[in-house]
Amino acid sequence: MSEYGLIINGKKVATTESFGVINPATEEIVGQCPIASRGQLDTAVDAAAQAFKTWSKVSDAERAAACGKIAAAINAHADELATLLTQEQGKPLGGSKFELGGAGAWAGYTGSLSLPDKVLQDDEKSRIVQTRKPIGVVGSITPWNFPLMIAIWHVVPAIRTGNTAVLKPSPSTPLSTLRMVEIINEVLPPGVLNCVTGTDDLGQWMTEHPGISKIIFTGSIQTGKKVMSSSAASLKRLTLELGGNDAGIVLDDVDPATVAPGIIHGAFMNNGQVCAALKRLYVPESIYEALCEQLVAAAKGGTMGNGLDEGTTQGPLANKMQYDKVCSLLKDAKANGGRVLCGGEIPEGPGYFVPFTIIADATSGMRVVDEEQFGPLMPVIKYTDLDDAIAQANGLEVGLGGSVWSSDPDRASAVAARLESGTAWVNQHGPISPNVPFGGVKCSGIGVEFGEEGLAEYTTIQVLNIAKSAA
């Protein structure tokens, strides 16, 4: 079993305490996660602050090249990292390799982005130029569903814009992140990227820390509110990508067999453990049973098991907490009239396994509809009035993504424009790319990631106002 340490100022640092990280497929210990002390967090922040003094002044070209080096380092170690990721997160090895491919691609693309100066005015009186400057030390707090790719989403834009970073992964999936940061440090100056691990207390210490100037957090709405509250004393800059309970609205002109596979992919990718997964499906009465039949057909045929086993297409849920929540939602749906079309039975034995489950006859007020499942449950809600379906889709406090499905893209686009969501997809659900801003509205977050707009979140604006005459 490998020895893991914090990564501070380019070096592996031991801790006096640790805890076991559980493989969700076997419930056996994968490795020991080091628990950082408050003093070690201070050391990491100090290292980042010292590195910021020089990193913020290197050339734009050098920082862009660093992103390429990060991408190359990740790609060179992709197989090693993917295996470790599957062991601690549970997803099939193919899914882990997909995540590592995404992490490398995102890092490389981020290097191609830039934020050039803008000349706002240049006349006989004055020249006014808007520039962007790095903020300082960025604190990154990442979740357990895509721990490596989201870590790259957080820290590479920070590095690209001249900031330095202290990264804290989820206690459920810390080991692959520690190893990835160790690898990345082979191509970065010491202190530019640090990684500390531990319990939830560590996250609060970071959000309260006076030496951290910005927090980027991906996770639940409840925790996001706590992050915002504890960051208030020092008025930290914030980017929050929080929970979603994305609605999909099917229009009455679709061919059920055509749209069902895309709907199932949008709902059950990564075992449903995606912030912007399709988590509520509204279907018109006229095609309700036909579409339900096709959804069941599209959901069947996979193999559930240990992600390291050949042929596995669905692994376990990532941790006991999420497993218990999903089982509770399933039990509640059954008790309140939900009709289970497929799945629905929890297997015996070790591991946090829940099969792909489609629940028909779901209604607003059921927990499985009103709460974010973050697992392989999809409620299907019948509607007779499109305006009412849109109102139901918009009726929750969340607004991350949403989708509309139709044989007429123009008609679907008009409906999608009425969704209260940061992203509205048509005839697909969930695809994202590094050149397209991504973020939520309402309680699904503050700020955006990706593209130039996401890069700008790691900077402050300075206006240089130059009078052309001293008079």
When divided into structural domains, the chain yields a total of: 2
The two three-digit tokens of residue 447, written as one number: 């700020």
Residue 17 lies in a domain: yes
CA 450 to each of CA 18, 113, 118, 240, 367: distance values in angstroms, whole numbers, following the listed order: 34, 10, 20, 13, 32
Cβ–Cβ < 8 Å for 107, 433 = no
Residue 205 CA to chain centroid, in angstroms?
Answer: 22
One-letter amino acid for residue 383 of the chain? Y
Q: Which of 171, 116, 175, 168 is nearest to 144 (CA)?
A: 171
278 and 191 part of one domain: no
Same domain, yes or no: 198 and 299: no
Whole-angstrom Cα Rg for the chain: 23
Q: Dihedral, CA atoms, 229, 232, 235, 239, nearest 10 degrees?
A: 0
- Tokens standing for residue 309: 């086993």
Q: Is the pTM of this model over 0.75?
A: yes
DSSP 366: B
Question: Is residue 155 helix, strand or coil?
Answer: helix
Closest residue by Cα to residue 95 from 81, 74, 111, 114: 81
User: What is the C-alpha separation between 281 and 362, in angstroms, rounded?
Assistant: 9
Place of tokens 């509640």: 332
Asked if the structure places residue 45 within a domain, the reply is yes
Q: Catalytic annotation on 310?
A: no
pLDDT of residue 1: 59
- How many Cα neighbours within 13 Å face the side chain of 114? 11
pLDDT given at position 200:
87
- Verify that 303 and 449 share a domain, yes or no: no
CB 64 within 8 A of CB 112: yes
The vertex-290 CA angle with 284 and 291, nearest 5°, equals: 65
List of residues 6+ apart from 106 with CB closer than 8 A: 149, 152, 153, 156, 434
pLDDT for res 470: 75
SS3 of 268, please? helix
* 27 catalytically annotated: no
Six token digits for residue 173? 């999936």
Instruction: Give a yes or no: residue 431 inside a domain.
Output: no
> What is the full per-residue pLDDT of the chain (471 aa) written as tens digits?
579 999 999 999 999 999 999 999 999 999 999 999 999 999 999 999 999 999 999 999 999 999 999 999 999 999 999 999 999 999 999 999 999 999 999 999 999 999 999 999 999 999 999 999 999 999 999 999 999 999 999 999 999 999 999 999 999 999 999 999 999 999 999 999 999 999 989 999 999 999 999 999 999 999 999 999 999 999 999 999 999 999 999 999 999 999 999 999 999 999 999 999 999 999 999 999 999 999 999 999 999 999 999 999 999 999 999 999 999 999 999 999 999 999 999 999 999 999 999 999 999 999 999 999 999 999 999 999 999 999 999 999 999 999 999 999 999 999 999 999 999 999 999 999 999 999 999 999 999 999 999 999 999 999 999 999 876
How far apart CA 30 and CA 318 sit, in angstroms, is 13
Q: Is residue 125 a contact partner of residue 467, using CB atoms and an 8 Å limit?
A: yes
pLDDT at 471: 63
Do 459 and 322 fall into the same domain? no
> Do 77 and 162 fall into the same domain?
yes
Residues 97 and 211 in one domain: yes
State the pLDDT at residue 469: 85
The amino acid that residue 167 corresponds to is L
Rounded to 10°, the helix 147-160/60-76 angle is 160
Range of the domain at 374: 246-426
d(CA 170, CA 141): 7
The answer to whether residue 230 is domain-embedded is yes
89 with 173, same domain: the answer is yes
Nearest to 177 by CA among 406, 339, 319, 6: 6
Three-state SS at 247: strand
**Residue among 211, 39, 90 at smallest CA distance from 99:** 90
Query: Do 234 and 275 lie in a common domain?
Result: no
Measured distance CA(49)–CA(346) in Å, rounded = 49
Indicate the residue type of 416. Answer: A
The CATH number covering residue 331 comes to: 3.40.309.10
Q: Which residues have CB under 8 Å from 230's CB, separation 6+? A: 204, 207, 208
Could you give the C-alpha distances from 105 to 44, 153, 273, 423, 438, in angstroms and in order?
27, 11, 21, 21, 17
Q: Which residue has the tokens 């640090």?
A: 194
**From residue 274, how far is each of 164, 386, 407, 422 by CA, in Å?**
28, 27, 26, 15
Domain assignment present for 305: yes
Count CB-CB contacts under 10 A for residue 408. 12
Nearest to 155 by CA among 200, 202, 196, 118: 196
Flag whether 98 is in a domain.
Answer: yes
Residue-wise DSSP of 317-364: -SSHHHHHHHHHHHHHHHHTT-EEEE---PPPSSS-----EEEEEE-B
> Tokens representing 421?
């969501």
Q: Is residue 406 part of a domain?
A: yes
Query: Considering 67, 275, 292, 443, which one is annotated as catalytic?
Result: 275
- In the block, tokens 């803008």 appear at 118
Domain shared by 422 and 456, yes or no? no
Q: Find the catalytic residue in 241, 372, 420, 457.
A: 241
* Pair (183, 302) in one structural domain: no
What CATH number is given to the structural domain containing 204? Answer: 3.40.605.10
Q: Identify whether residues 222 and 309 lie together within a single domain.
A: no
Pair 237, 288 in one domain: no
Q: Can you list the positions of beta strands (E) in 43-125?
A: 118-122
Does 433 reside within a domain?
no
